[in-house]
Amino acid sequence: MFDILMYVYETYWHPQACPEPGQLSRKLSAAGFETEEISDALHWLRGLEVSVADSRTLGAPSAASLRLYEGSELECLGVDAVGYLNFLESAGTIQPHWREIVVERAVATGIKQLPLEQLKTIVLMVLWRLDEEPDALILDELFVEATDRVVH
């Protein structure tokens, strides 16, 4: 599913350029993706659309509020991912209500201990759906894989 999400992100730079689900499914199939993977990705993308729409009607959490993660969220994200989300928020890359969409979409994957690289894909997709372009340095960080990092 994450390969498809990255394909969508790289192929359709803005959500308005992305075709409707039926046509997108055909294009993904023609690109060589498996039917089950396509179905999972389209389901996830529909959920993203709903989450974004809901966040616009609910309003943003207060900047002074403290985010406590429930057990299922921590089980999915892990400490590293929570720290990474805190970094993105403190850097001004994501706003508190965007973080909530990221967390909801991460949990929606059903993956326990979501790898950080997959969380980055989710962050990219949330920003993509919101039609927000991150700073170039943050964008590079979101694309850097763990194996490409230099440890000092």
Helix 35-58 × helix 21-30 angle, to 10°: 140
Written as one letter, the residue type at 106 is A
Give the separation between CA 82 and CA 90, rounded to whole angstroms.
Answer: 12
For residue range 1-19, list pLDDT tens digits in order.
999 999 999 999 889 999 9
Contact indicator for 84, 121 with CB cutoff of 8 Å: no
Confidence band for 147, pLDDT divided at 50, 70 and 90: very low
pLDDT at 145: 56
pLDDT at 62: 67
For residue range 115-129, list pLDDT tens digits in order.
999 999 999 999 999
pLDDT at 28: 96
pLDDT at 38: 96
Listed as own residue / partner, the contacts of 46-51 with beta carbons closer than 8 Å and 24 or more positions apart are 46/21, 47/105, 47/108, 48/101, 48/105, 48/125, 48/126, 48/129, 49/129, 51/101, 51/104, 51/105
pLDDT at 55: 79
pLDDT at 149: 37
pLDDT at 73: 94
DSSP state of 68: -
For residue range 20-70, list pLDDT tens digits in order.
999 999 999 999 999 999 999 999 999 999 999 887 776 666 666 778 899
